[in-house]
Amino acid sequence: MSQNLILDGLNPEQKRAVEYTDGPILILAGAGTGKTRTITRRVAHLVRDLRVPASKVLAITFTNKAAREMRTRIEEWVPHTGMWVGTFHATCARMLRIDADRIGRTRDFTIFDVDDRRRLLRQLIKDQSLDPKVFRPRRFENIISNWKGRSLMPIGAKAEAALMGMEEEHAATVYELYEAELAKQDALDFDDLLLKGVQLLQLDSDSTRRWVEKFEHILVDEYQDTNDLQYKFVKLLAQGTKHVAVCGDPDQSIYRWRGADISNILDFERDFPGAEIVRLEQNYRSVGNVLLAAQTVIKNNSSRKEKDLITNREAGEKLLLSEGADEETEARQMVQQVERWLEGGIRMSEVAIFYRTNACSRSLEAALTRMQIPYQVVGGQAFFERREVKDLLAFSRLLVNPKDDMSFQRAVNVPPRGVGETTLQRLRGRATGMGISLLAAIMQPEVRDSMRGPAKKGLGKFLWILDKGREELKSAERTLQVLCDVTGYRRFAESLDGAEDVDRGENLDELIAFAAEYDHRENGGLRGFLEEISLLVDTDRWAEHVERVSLMTVHAAKGLEFDCVGVVGLEEGLFPHVRSFDDPEGLEEERRLFYVALTRARLELCLSHSRMRFRTASPGPQASSRFLDELPKEVVIGGGKSYSSRAHSTSSGSSGGFASGFFSDSTVESCLPSARGVEVDASAGFESSAESEFQEGDWVDHRVFGNGTVQRILGEGVNQRITVLFENTDEERTLMLAYAMLEKLE
């Protein structure tokens, strides 16, 4: 294959980005400018034309979906010969398994998910005789995650906590115990993958030298979304090479809330002196009106690198602005627009509706259901968080890592086999005294003999189940099928009470089918399968080609594109979010988020807001988003009064940082439906989702009361209430779930 063929179809800027190898290069790739094609062709050029060994090339992406797409495209040009292509977390996990002994782990270490981490923290909090309702596991989780994100280990955390308060001091103590427990269970959490990866390069000279020498060419996609640890990882790994290529778009930096630092891409030339800058400005995705709208809006930001996207496509339809009297009307109008798109020949899989917070999906779901339009929600309960899936995976994880006490405690009495909490407490005491894992403890005859009646029999049955599972470790599909059969789990799952009963068997089938697909694609067996799914995010399970309309947050839409896009909830305080009102950097990020929403559309955009919305237990007037005013008037049609024409402002004189008139004191007081005896009539037009997205223990945000932890969910349907313990006031408040506008936090 010739170089000319590799370069075929590329524009001059793309060719420059592919061919430049004289030093570091920053590829500023605007939305829809063919960055993935450019990066994959660059890799092909390196390997096919310049004869760089594929094993010397490292390509890092931000999502597993992007990694799979990049790997597939690269393999069209270069057969798989050892090239590393994956996310930051997957790359670090791979390195850490190779050098596991250097970080105090074995190669079979478990990667704890959010639920594992939270359950362990809850257990440790109780062990410290602390009340989990006061010292909340979710809060401790966030504090510890922040410390790890700043490379602060327990000893440093204790020193910092001593200057802060009682909560932080207790969190630091729990952090130390948590780290010790992770080491004992041969486990790492998600934060550890990056932290330990950086430490591996910082602290171990032999490993540092080996990894630095391994990669001659490093490519990083979505560089604008890198956080401090990811930045350090790239800098450390690039010590031995000048061939660092990063690709990104400062205008699409939308993850500041989880630590992303836009300065990493803005200061690339400082970090890598002499870097070449290539701007990809030819947009191949969107029609002219969509592109002009997005460009005009984003130019209001100051923290960016100037570029002007151009397109050879037609102007296309003007952007439609839609105003609803209330959120139900808004949803109905948006769904009517979806109908018009579908009637015009647009496929359902090419239609998406975005919103700033998940709570906005409820009225849309109701409207779509009434119109009998199939849809899928991206960002609801993740597949791998479902009870039946986690139960079966707990057995699997224990087969790979016998030290995984969290998986042991989840699996040992599922389905019930007489091993209750009293038995588990006794077992934990024996295991701690012997300095061994729970599984190792029950393998001791004297420990099993000390148990009585059903517990002794149940533990023996559990060991037999694990023995049967170990016979099939080379096949993830076969292992899961055997475990499902010998445990009798399918029958047990389908007998469970709850709204999901009818789906549990199907979920087990989907898990096994996913394992079969992995076995066909890879050769990693059960160990490899467990690692792959531990690194998945919700959007990785998005059914891209299913004929359904997609509902998702704008954050979830990053990296996707559709023919037709609707955006709802474009109101001050919602989009842009109220938290950005007193934060210039936060407001710029909200504008970037709006820019991302606009640039997902290939053909048509419908932008919607409501004059009245239930932001709490009662409705309140809404001001349309300032971002709508920033759109060029020549490319939009429809709409109501503009943001600037309304009597709402973000002046310093407004109460609590809200737009003037957005909430009155009486409105804030009305946020307590339990105190006012509010009952909502289902005939009022609201139809809630069949199942609440919230669970007890969830960490949530409320625009008035701030952050809190879900304590209880009461009632059903439209009259369902949620009780939240808010950290600012340390008070419980009960709100109508349908109208609370709570946002589940990461």
Global pTM reads 0.76
Instruction: For residue 365, indicate whether it is catalytic.
Output: no
pLDDT in tens, 388-397: 889 999 999 9
Provide the strand spans (E) within 367-516. Answer: 375-378
pLDDT above 60 for 457: yes
For residue 222, indicate whether it is catalytic: yes
User: Catalytic: 650?
Assistant: no
Residue 254 pLDDT greater than 60, yes or no: yes
pLDDT at position 96: 94
Is-catalytic flag, 36?
A: yes
CA end-to-end distance (rounded Å), the chain:
46
* Confidence at 540, pLDDT banded by 50, 70, 90: low
Tell me the C-alpha distance between 356 and 438, whole Å. 44
Choose the catalytic residue: 13, 14, 35, 403: 35
Model pLDDT, residue 20: 94
Q: Residue range 280-298: average pLDDT?
A: 94
Amino acid at 447: V
Is 35 tagged catalytic? yes
671 is written with which tokens?
């946020």
**pLDDT tens for residues 148-191?**
988 899 999 999 999 988 999 999 999 999 999 999 999 999 99
Give all strands of the β-sheet with 549-553 in edge-to-edge order.
375-378, 549-553, 351-355, 562-567, 601-610, 319-324, 636-638
Three-state DSSP class for residue 82: coil
Please say whether the beta carbons of 52 and 78 come within 8 A.
Answer: no
Tell me: the pLDDT tens digits for 208-251?
788 888 999 999 999 999 999 999 999 999 988 899 999 999 99
Q: Which of 21, 36, 282, 481 is catalytic?
A: 36
The C-alpha atoms of residue 572 and residue 591 are separated, in whole angstroms, by 12
Alpha-carbon span 114 to 217, nearest angstrom:
33
Q: Which of 116, 141, 222, 590 is catalytic?
A: 222
**pLDDT tens digits, 482-508:** 999 899 888 888 777 554 434 677 788
Q: Is the pLDDT of residue 652 over 50?
A: no
- pLDDT given for residue 359 in this prediction: 75
What average pLDDT does the structure give for the chain? Answer: 83
Residue 259 pLDDT > 70, yes or no?
A: yes
Which pLDDT value is given to residue 683? 30
Residue 170 CA to residue 162 CA, distance in Å, equals 10
Active-site option among 99, 168, 191, 221: 221
Residue 729: predicted pLDDT: 62
Whether the ω angle into residue 632 lies within 30 degrees of 0, i.e. cis, is no
Q: What distance in Å separates the CA atoms of residue 640 and residue 320, rounded to the nearest whole number?
A: 11
723 is catalytic: no
Catalytic residue from among 40, 252, 616, 650: 252
Query: pLDDT-based confidence at 531, cuts 50/70/90?
Result: confident
Cα–Cα distance measured from residue 621 to residue 615, given in angstroms and rounded to the nearest whole number:
10
Annotated active-site residue in 117, 362, 478, 600: 600
Angle at 629 between CA 624 and CA 633, to 5 degrees: 130
Question: Which is more confidently placed, 385 or 10?
Answer: 10
Report the C-alpha gap between 234 and 241 in whole angstroms: 11
Tell me the angle at which helices 137-149 and 114-127 cross, rounded to the nearest 10 degrees.
110
Are residues 431 and 404 in contact, defined by beta-carbon separation less than 8 angstroms? no
Cα separation, 324 vs 83, in Å, equals: 52
- Compute the C-alpha angle 602/605/610, nearest 5°: 155
Say which range, 74-88, 90-104, 191-205, has the weakest mean pLDDT. Answer: 74-88
